[in-house]
Amino acid sequence: MNQSTHIVSNPWQALRELTQARIALGRSGVSVPTSAQLDFQLAHARARDAVHMALDARALAAALAGDGHACLTVHSACPDRASYLQRPDLGRVLDAPSRAALLAAAPAACDLALVIGDGLSALAIEQNAQAFAAVLLARLRKDTGAAQWRLGPIVIASQARVAIGDEIGALLNARAVAVLIGERPGLSSPDSMGVYLSWAPRVGLTDADRNCISNVRPAGLSYDEAAYRLHYLLTQARQRGLSGVLLKDDTVAEGGLPEAGKGNFLLR
């Protein structure tokens, strides 16, 4: 007999059009419908695959080089994926050869170092990093004069955690570092990329010293919107010499900044 005749619908059914969250699935007896259970198992498998997927750093470097960007590839102190998942501390620091390579290639100074790390979803980086970098760098190139950004080489880091960007930024003599990294996969978003900004990068910074823009992907925060927000935060970080909890994202819709005296209403 067709299972659908036994499914009890949920009154929240209409809300499913507004979210990818697993709500209003209905029920069949005391269980969720078979189709919903199979969808859950597929999403879980995709999330697990995203965590274990290896980033093809060479292919990404070649693609970025094709766009005209100088690239360097580095590796954290994690020798493999298993140690990466078990030892987050090792993913936050470079291995010795990578540190030496960055020292040898470091410019005298740069305003921004862009770091791309696999993180917990190489899939997110494979699908989003190159396209987002193109949008961001195109926006930064429009700044001229004192607002211009001197860019260091793009660094692609394997087995990387967010904090590895601070060490990379310091070795490249960068005033700021932006880390594009695969976020922990969710059951509806195995391909979500995060962007983390640190001003005056150095080893020892904490999460409180960084700004985060999350869920960057076509089905989440668009590349244009994420680049707009990051550009704003970078500009404010340079003007004020800080980042993290002391730097708020006061952006509004593309096209302008909040009017004077009209910041976050929660702080009034």
Beta pairing partners, 72: 155
pLDDT, position 24: 73
Q: β-strand 154-158 against 110-117: which pairing, if any?
A: parallel
Domains of the chain are 57-246 (3.40.50.11240)
Q: List residues forming the annotated binding site for adenosylcob(III)alamin.
A: 162, 183, 212
Mean pLDDT within 139-161: 94
> Which range has the worst mean pLDDT, 134-148, 230-244, 254-268?
254-268
Mean pLDDT within 1-14: 65
Q: Counting every residue, how long is the chain? A: 268
Question: What confidence category does residue 257 fall into, taking pLDDT thresholds of 50, 70 and 90?
Answer: very low
CA pair distance 58, 73, nearest whole angstrom:
8
Listed residue (151, 166, 192, 178) closest to 233, CA to CA? 178
162, 117 Cβ separation under 8 angstroms: yes
pLDDT, position 259: 44
- ∠ CA 47-48-49, rounded to 5°: 90
Q: What is the pLDDT of residues 103-131, one digit of tens each?
A: 999 888 999 999 999 999 999 999 999 99
Other beta carbons within 10 angstroms of residue 68's beta carbon come to 8
Q: What is the pLDDT of residues 156-209, one digit of tens each?
A: 999 999 999 999 999 999 999 999 999 998 877 899 999 999 999 999 999 999
Q: List residues forming the annotated binding site.
A: 162, 183, 212
DSSP assigned state of 76: B
Q: Report pTM.
A: 0.85
CA pair distance 267, 257, nearest whole angstrom:
17
Does pLDDT of 229 surpass 90?
yes
Does pLDDT of 2 surpass 60?
no
Other beta carbons within 10 angstroms of residue 65's beta carbon come to 12
Residue 49, phi then psi, degrees to nearest 5: -60, -40
227, 132 Cβ separation under 8 angstroms: yes
Other beta carbons within 10 angstroms of residue 133's beta carbon come to 21
Q: What is the CA radius of gyration of the chain?
A: 21
DSSP assigned state of 53: P
